[in-house]
Amino acid sequence: MTAYRLSSGGLVDRSKALSFTFDGRPLRGFAGDTLASALLANDQLLVGRSFKYHRPRGIVSAGPSEPNALVTLGSGARSDPNTKATVAELYAGLTARSQNRWPSLGFDVGAVNGLLSPFLGAGFYYKTFMWPRQLWEKLYEPVIRRAAGLGRAGLERDPESYEKSWAFCDLLVVGGGPAGLMAALTAGRAGLRVILADEDFRLGGSLLSETETVDGGAAPAFAERVVAELQSLENVTLLSRTTVFGWYDDNVFGAVERVQKHVAEPSAKLPTERVWRIAAKRALLATGAEERPLVFGGNDRPGVMMAGAIGTYAHRHGVSAGKSVAIFTSGSSGYRTARSLSAKGVTVSTIIDSRPEASDAVPHGVRVIRSGSIVDTKGRQRLSGIVVERSGFEELIACDALGMSGGWSPVVHLACQRGARPVWSDALKAFAAPDVGDTLRVVGAANGVYTLAGCLRDGAEKAAAIAAELGFNAAAAPLPVTETEAEPSFAALWYVPGAKSKAFVDFQNDVHTKDLGLALREGFGHVEHAKRYTTSGMATDQGKLSNINAVGILAGMRGVSPAEVGTTTFRPFYTPVSFGALAGTSRDVHATPTRKSPLHEWGKKHGATFVDSGLWFRSAWFPRAGEKTWRESVDREVLNVRANVGLCDVSTLGKIEVFGPDAAEFLNRLYCNAILKLPVGKARYGLMLREDGFVFDDGTVSRLADDHFFVTTTTAMAGAVMSHMDYCAQVLWPDLKVRFCSVSDQWAQMAIAGPNAREVLQQLVDEDISETAFPFLSARATALRGGINARLFRISFSGELAFELAVPAGYGEAVADQIMEAGRAHKICAYGVEALNVLRLEKGLLTHAEFDGRVTPDDAGLGRMFSAQKPDFIGKHLSARYGLTAADRMQIVGLKPVDKDKDIRAGAHLLKEGMKPSTLNDQGWVSSAGYSPVLGHHIALAFLKSGRERYGEKVAVWDKLRDHEVIAEVCDPVFVDPENKKLKA
Amino acid sequence: MRYSAFSIVRNALSGNLNWKPQWRQPQPKSHYDVIIVGGGGHGLSTAYYLAKEFGVKNVAVLEKGYLGSGNVGRNTTIVRSNYMLPGNEPFYEFSMKLWEGLEQDLNYNVMLSQRGVIMLYHSDAQRDAYVRRGNAMWMEGVEAELIERDQLKKMIPFLNYDHARYPILGGLLQRRAGTARHDAVAWGYARGADQHGVDIIEHCEVTGIRRENGVVTGVETSNGFIGCGKLALAAAGNSSRVGEMADLKLPLESHVLQAFVTEGLKPCIDHVIVYGGGHFYISQSDKGGLVFGAEIDGYSSYAQRGNLATAEHVMEEGVSMIPGLSRVRVLRAWGGVMDMSMDGSPIIDRTSIDNLYLNCGWCYGGFKATPASGYCFAHLIARNDTHPVARALRLDRFARGYAVDEAGAGPQPNLH
Amino acid sequence: MASLITCPHCGVRPKEEFAIRGDASLIRPAPSASDEAWHDYVYVRANPRGRTVEHWHHIAGCRRFLVVERDTVTHEVYSVVDGTAAAREARR
């Protein structure tokens, strides 16, 4: 036994024993333990293996900076790899497994890497594995990859749920230690809306492991009283178990609350984690300070810990890290820890002080070795002794726990996430927070104020100042009485000379002093280069403990001040945040919104198979009994439309109402074809360009009154067109008197197409819709029998006699039902977008399969729509550029397979017959293809270089990707009814 | 010093004390035949190929920060040549071939890992677009495979096959594509260029471009004036700023693109996977971190940091594609400044000023282009002649109407 | 900047309610303007490091185009005004 539970004390609830397992071994802890404190209480010193050399490692810290004690919590789909045991709250039924070891934690084959370490120095892999070339892929890389990582992610579906929320406050206090609590109390009493966030499950920070008295009582009790008062204030929100991970523009903070990471069986009613976006008028960083490890030979042996952590485990958790503790310090804090441990009954045998002299009080019976240094440690998987060197003499001192105290570094991470870099302070011998303006200030130990009294005062005063700035009547909360205490002093000791074994700087990534030396020798002395070359600071702890020593060592080797070396960049996330928390509820079918047409239920009733179309679901086809493939259904629907009549839901088209005396002028400038003189009661096909002259979108424009138009867009581009119109009206032509709004969701729209369309529709409307009264391209508002307002358009996307009927969305399904009923005698069928696509393909009509953003009107065979007469429209000027008018541009053509049994597939490229495939020989590509049931063979639309001159030519349709090649004849893209006889019937 | 397993052993036996700097830290000379502005991947590769392939050895690379401090050290390491347009595909394939011989050429292991890049499709229309692209690749002789859903399920079982908002129907795979260790690319080129006599001058910021009679004669720098015969700009996100010094107006906007890495994990994702329902892409580094990103933040920015809203959106896409990512923790986010061009494609060209050359517009795709960009730029500088595979990447293509618009999104940089 | 935008019509709103179109300093040339003027308008960007004006479209709010004056390095927002007013001002 070495580490053990003290017989009394601590903030654990000894009446609530909790069972848990580590690597299958059943263990017990108490409520209030972290996994780390419980492991220590069970004398489980060996917790993990390091990344590169698989060295045995134990617990180093008592917080989020932990580099070594990483475990996988949970099992199966609820596994959380790389969890820091030092922040994992213990619960009954917790299961933890060690990582990066095989076959077991105690005996790990990977440890052989340690023997090879002279060959595995920083960046060794850049210098080898290059010969022979083939072996990199086949042998070297797989071996390296197998060694990658620490924990294992099963990538199983996560059964738990997450959510995100906004919060707004006058003051965000990050950190619930002495400074944070006093700040929150001051601001809370003054009436500010305060959010206090702390990553721990218990508020109080260092007060929880403090031995000094506050107001004559125990420090944790003081914390408890403050927390109770804060809880009673309605304007204060306390967020424990909440890590503020990022500081973003406009003083918005990201935070993650671990709502139920500390329970065995999470409730389905609560999220597991919740991400907060906190918009704060002001923020105070009360994030404390980090004690520095010391870099000496053998400093990674289990049992070597941060001195402060040993104190925390003793005072907060009632656990002694060892039977005989030694402290290695470069300053007064090591003595303070020693005193507090002694007072707690933990045996401290020796203080090794690197300084020649010190006036710090030494607890009774503790030996002090001044000017001492540790050059090696003994023991195998746990510490058994240290080799202390003094004045050239070495001495082996037995101990089973060693505390390191190398001074303090303020935790300034968040303050440095928005471009400002920390500033070296000679006084603090540390990097301090930069001045980042009024919205974020740093208090307490994070501000380099290390005494308890100072922290309490700093928090209260800064909060009072903020309250005053924000117009609140505030006074700093009265300060509690504390014991007198001097600011800690320490000597900066970046590494301890004379190491007899590896002296680690970055524990997790196994970066030791020699690696940094090698990096410098090879020209990687810049702090960023050193980091990237040695991987120092790149592990899961992001160098919270190690970076400062790496900077100090580099400074020493380069002979400059740490200020000149500087730090690497602080970036989110302060501690790692799960994908799930950041994604919140946006996952699976909720990844994006779902839009359903007002005729969705109608489609369902008729057995539609739905297909995604952007956010929409659209009816794709309507299978009937006996139809075995989608093609059978589609062919039937197409033939029925051509022979009889069909009803198709086209509600998903974008629909925009345009009003105003300048509506016609506005649209005339938007479309490349003429709109100005479109008569009332008429519809017209419209083509919109981008300003660079390429086709943006197409649709129909209908004039319902002189100053009232109704335009449609494609489904895909509805949003983009609306934004484009907003831009044109608001920014380009603000003087045009025009207003418009999207009515896509207001109207259910259906196409009734086929030779019998008129007979069917006439049953629903009173007005005359004969060819004479309502010819092709008529458009008007009307009313259905029974009085429902409707709009009727004589437009066609199938080449058949066709109408589009729009009714208010709520009536859509009923009207569609009526049409189906009225059409029964006329052999009506429902048809979906697949049939619609075949119908338009047969007619050579285009969609965004053709309009891919690189097509001019002329490429698309729509050159006649380009109105050169109009003085101005979007895209006019740049359309004249050489590249857009060159004769060898690809133009739309039709393709028919020469062998009519062969199919053509979209995405194939075109080659002149007999030519070898090459980028130079590439003649074009197939944009749309399908089987035409009318023609009885496949047809396609394609873009072919100078295509319109090449009708009749045979080309190879080359689909190498699917090993498919056919010869096709180039033809006019209109395959069916080129004279439009049916359209105008 | 030549690198090999032998050199590692030999040095290990002497305590690793005899390794030499990988590149010198020279004082700038007063004049160079060619000065390259920008010590990132493209600037360094240009210098390397100028010296090695085109015999131009009196070359300096000026870098205002530390070597490789720009996008070469902050990208998601993807290397591929799966482009669609004839203006792009030959260029990127040329780059891919250079990648395949790069380690032997440089005697530096950049850890090229040809693990395959697969782009998922979620609709018939998207499949057709990928088929078009795959066939364009084959036209250039580049192997591509269409992986259908059943095959994909065996290959990558953990994708969201059953609950996705947009069904995963298949993917377009380029097996030769993959990743490379980004920093090593910068260092390898730097070492290679240095060995051929190139002066790499770090912490030397160009503050002005001196012209006499309309001809560039040198640059003002934080280290004083340095004369040159030819000046080559490879300043990525800062191209507009450097160009401004010579009154060049460029078709560029600088935007921030974020990237992310998770905690290190045992190998679990073997390919580079690109989500077709958004912009998300992910791969796993040889150290075990999952490296990923998605779209740019959308506003113009010179700050190397992004915003939370975009970061959250990236995670949403990630979990949509791979539900099992949900419990994986993201370690770090960072940002790079992208020189977004007006058609999403790069520019390697002369300028209106006789001896001033321009390399920019890499958008978020510059890393994979590093070898070809340098090679073609060097070709242009040395011979004053455009390399055949870079013919479409001219500066005047916008005026002439020959945009190389792979996304078909038009002249709005944040849509590419 | 990019976390919160104060829309003159809707108040403080989060970034994701907006679509960013780009440089708001450009003025569309007259139809008869030179090829170069049109080329510059559509393709050339000043791309300043520092203060810039950008069009942000409040698509999930009032649907107004706003001119956001901001810093491309610090991301500080100096002003947000309605795009129509700004366009009229620019033409004056």
- Mark yes or no for CB contact A922/B139 under 8 Å: yes
Between strands B59-62 and B31-37, the pairing is parallel
Question: Which of C15, C40, C70 is closest, CB to CB, to B307?
Answer: C15
Higher pLDDT, A845 or A133: A845
Residue A219 pLDDT greater than 60, yes or no: yes
In 3D space, the residue among A846, A855, A971 whose CA is nearest the CA of residue A904 turns out to be A971
Mutation for testing the C interface, residue in A249, A252, A744, A874 having most C CBs under 10 Å: A249
What is the token pair recorded at B28? 């700038």
Strand ranges in A176-235 using DSSP code E only, listed in sequence order: 194-197, 213-214, 217-218
What is the token pair recorded at A48? 């993990």
What is the helix (H) or strand (E) element at residue A569, kind and residue range? none
Q: How many helices and strands, by DSSP H and E, does chain A display?
A: 22, 53
Alpha helices, DSSP H, located in B228-365: 239-244, 308-321
CA distance A567 to A528: 8
A&C contacts, CB < 8 Å: 69
List pLDDT tens digits, range A544-568.
999 999 999 999 999 999 999 999 9
- Mark yes or no for CB contact C4/A250 under 8 Å: yes
Question: Is residue A542 within 8 angstroms of chain B, CB to CB?
Answer: yes
CA distance B260 to B289: 9
Question: Which of C19, C72, C74 is closest, CB to CB, to B300?
Answer: C72
Considering the segment(s) B20-77+183-252+344-400 as one domain, its CATH architecture is 3-Layer(bba) Sandwich (3.50)
CA distance B394 to B372: 15
- Mark yes or no for CB contact C87/A872 under 8 Å: no
| Numbered ranges of CATH 3.30.9.10 in chain B | 114-179+253-341
The CATH number of the structural domain formed by A887-985 is 2.40.30.110
Mutation for testing the C interface, residue in B302, B347, B404 having most C CBs under 10 Å: B302
Decide: helix, strand or coil at residue A532.
helix
Question: pLDDT value at position A149?
Answer: 86
Percent of chain A at pLDDT exceeding 70: 100
Residue B131 pLDDT greater than 70, yes or no: yes
Residue A36 pLDDT greater than 70, yes or no: yes
What is the token pair recorded at A149? 């990582």
A&B contacts, CB < 8 Å: 358
C-alpha of A853 from chain center: 29
Mutation for testing the A interface, residue in C41, C68, C84 having most A CBs under 10 Å: C84
Question: Which of A579, A690, A849 is closest, CB to CB, to B315?
Answer: A579
Percent of chain A at pLDDT exceeding 90: 93
Do A658 and A710 meet the contact criterion of CB atoms below 8 Å apart?
Answer: yes
Any idea of the CA torsion for B26, B30, B34, B36, to the nearest 10 degrees?
Answer: 60
Do A185 and A232 meet the contact criterion of CB atoms below 8 Å apart?
Answer: no
Chains contacting A (3 or more CB pairs within 8 Å) = B, C
């395949």: which residue's tokens? Answer: B100
Residues in chain C closer than 8 A to A723 (CB atoms): 19, 21, 57, 59
Q: Which residues contact A228 (CB under 8 A, 6 or more apart)?
A: none
- Mark yes or no for CB contact C47/B297 under 8 Å: no
Question: Is residue C74 within 8 angstroms of chain B, CB to CB?
Answer: yes
Strand ranges in A298-347 using DSSP code E only, listed in sequence order: 304-306, 319-320, 325-329
Considering the segment(s) A654-742 as one domain, its CATH architecture is 2-Layer Sandwich (3.30)
- Mark yes or no for CB contact B140/A919 under 8 Å: yes
Residue A982 pLDDT greater than 70, yes or no: yes
Question: pLDDT value at position A486?
Answer: 87
Residue A300 pLDDT greater than 80, yes or no: yes
| Fold classification of A604-652+746-772+791-840 (topology level) | Gyrase A; domain 2 (3.30.1360)
- Percent of chain A as helix, strand, coil, to the nearest 5: 25, 30, 45
Residues in chain C closer than 8 A to B412 (CB atoms): 21-22
- Lowest mean per-residue pLDDT among A483-487, A834-838, B68-72: A483-487
List pLDDT tens digits, range A904-955.
999 999 999 999 999 999 999 999 999 999 999 999 999 999 999 999 999 9
Question: Which of C15, C44, C49 is closest, CB to CB, to B249?
Answer: C44
Residue A138 pLDDT greater than 90, yes or no: no
The 3 state secondary structure assigned to A630-689 is: HHHHHHHHHHHHHHCEEEEECCCCEEEEEECCCHHHHHHHHECCCCCCCCCCEEEEEEEE
Min Cα separation C47/chain A (Å)? 20
Q: How far is CA C81 from CA A200, C56, C58, C69, C89, in A?
A: 43, 10, 12, 8, 11
Residues in chain B closer than 8 A to A589 (CB atoms): 163-165
Question: pLDDT value at position C2?
Answer: 66
Residues in chain C closer than 8 A to B298 (CB atoms): 19-20
Interface of C with A in 17-56 (CB under 8 A): 19, 21, 24, 28-29, 31, 33, 35, 38-39, 41-42, 55
CA distance A445 to A333: 14
CA distance B211 to A640: 74
Which residues are bridge partners to C54 per DSSP? C23, C68
List pLDDT tens digits, range A708-756.
999 999 999 999 999 999 999 999 999 999 999 999 999 999 999 999 9
Question: pLDDT value at position B137?
Answer: 98
| Numbered ranges of CATH 3.50.50.60 in chain B | 20-77+183-252+344-400
What is the token pair recorded at B21? 């700097």
Question: pLDDT value at position C3?
Answer: 86
pTM of the model: 0.97
- Mark yes or no for CB contact C47/B413 under 8 Å: no
CA distance B416 to B394: 18
- Average pLDDT for residues A66-78, to the nearest whole number? 95
Interface of B with A in 76-135 (CB under 8 A): 86, 89-90, 103-104, 107-114, 122-123, 125, 127-135
List pLDDT tens digits, range A152-176.
998 999 999 999 999 999 999 999 9
With bands split at pLDDT 50, 70 and 90, how would you rate the model's confidence at A118? confident
CA distance A170 to A645: 65
* Phi-psi region at A351: left, alpha or beta (left = phi > 0; alpha = psi -120 to 50): beta
Q: Which residues contact A880 (CB under 8 A, 6 or more apart)?
A: A693
Question: pLDDT value at position A113?
Answer: 86
ipTM confidence score: 0.98
Q: How far is CA B180 from CA B39, B285, B370, C89, C91, in A?
A: 19, 9, 11, 51, 51
Question: Side chain identity at A920, as an amino acid letter?
Answer: L
CA distance A739 to B91: 48
Min Cα separation B92/chain A (Å)? 13
List pLDDT tens digits, range A530-550.
999 999 999 999 999 999 999
Residue A594: CB atoms within 10 A of its CB come to 12
Decide: helix, strand or coil at residue A110.
helix
CA distance A709 to A467: 56
Question: Which of A419, A691, A730 is closest, CB to CB, to C84?
Answer: A730
Give the residue from chain C lying closest to B400, CA to CA. Answer: C39
Which residues are bridge partners to A703 per DSSP? A709
Residue A1 pLDDT greater than 70, yes or no: no
Residues in chain B closer than 8 A to A68 (CB atoms): none
Residue positions counted in chain A: 985
Min Cα separation C31/chain A (Å)? 6
Mutation for testing the B interface, residue in C42, C45, C67, C77 having most B CBs under 10 Å: C45
Residues in chain C closer than 8 A to A734 (CB atoms): 84, 87-88
Question: Is residue C46 within 8 angstroms of chain B, CB to CB?
Answer: yes
Give the residue from chain B lying closest to A885, CA to CA. Answer: B401
Q: How far is CA A399 from CA A47, A153, A388, A439, B107, in A?
A: 19, 38, 12, 48, 49
Q: Which residues contact C77 (CB under 8 A, 6 or more apart)?
A: A250, C1, C5, C6, C68, C69, C70, C71
List pLDDT tens digits, range A173-213.
999 999 999 999 999 999 999 999 999 999 999 999 999 99
Min Cα separation A219/chain B (Å)? 34
- The answer regarding whether domain A162-289+410-469 maps to CATH 1.10.287.3610 reads no
Give the residue from chain A lying closest to B396, CA to CA. Answer: A883
Question: Which of C29, C33, C65 is closest, CB to CB, to A727?
Answer: C65
Do B219 and C14 meet the contact criterion of CB atoms below 8 Å apart?
Answer: no
Residue A538: CB atoms within 10 A of its CB come to 23
In 3D space, the residue among A248, A417, C52 whose CA is nearest the CA of residue B310 turns out to be A248
Residues in chain A closer than 8 A to B131 (CB atoms): 905-908, 959, 961-962
What does residue A841 show for φ and ψ, rounded to 5 degrees? -65, -40
Each residue's pLDDT expressed in tens, for chain C with a length of 92 residues: 568 999 999 999 999 999 999 999 999 999 999 999 999 999 999 999 999 999 999 999 999 999 999 999 999 999 999 999 999 988 77
């004049």: which residue's tokens? Answer: B31
Question: Side chain identity at B380, as an amino acid letter?
Answer: L
Largest CA-CA distance found in chain C, in angstroms, rounded:
41
List pLDDT tens digits, range A329-376.
999 999 999 999 999 999 999 999 999 999 999 999 999 999 999 999
Mutation for testing the B interface, residue in A71, A73, A119, A126 having most B CBs under 10 Å: A126
Question: pLDDT value at position A927?
Answer: 98
Considering the segment(s) B114-179+253-341 as one domain, its CATH architecture is 2-Layer Sandwich (3.30)
Residues in chain A closer than 8 A to B111 (CB atoms): 125-126, 136, 141
Q: Which residues contact B162 (CB under 8 A, 6 or more apart)?
A: none
- Mark yes or no for CB contact A524/B407 under 8 Å: no
Alpha helices, DSSP H, located in A680-731: 718-727
Between strands A194-197 and A236-239, the pairing is parallel
Question: Which of B309, B399, B414 is closest, CB to CB, to C39?
Answer: B399
Min Cα separation A533/chain B (Å)? 8
Residues in chain A closer than 8 A to B293 (CB atoms): none
pLDDT, averaged across chain A? 96
Q: How far is CA A59 from CA A38, A89, A210, A800, in A?
A: 11, 15, 20, 78
Q: What domains sit in chain C, N to C, each tagged with a CATH number?
A: 4-91 (3.30.2270.10)
What is the token pair recorded at A375? 């050059």
* Domain boundary assignment for chain A: 162-289+410-469, 604-652+746-772+791-840, 654-742, 887-985
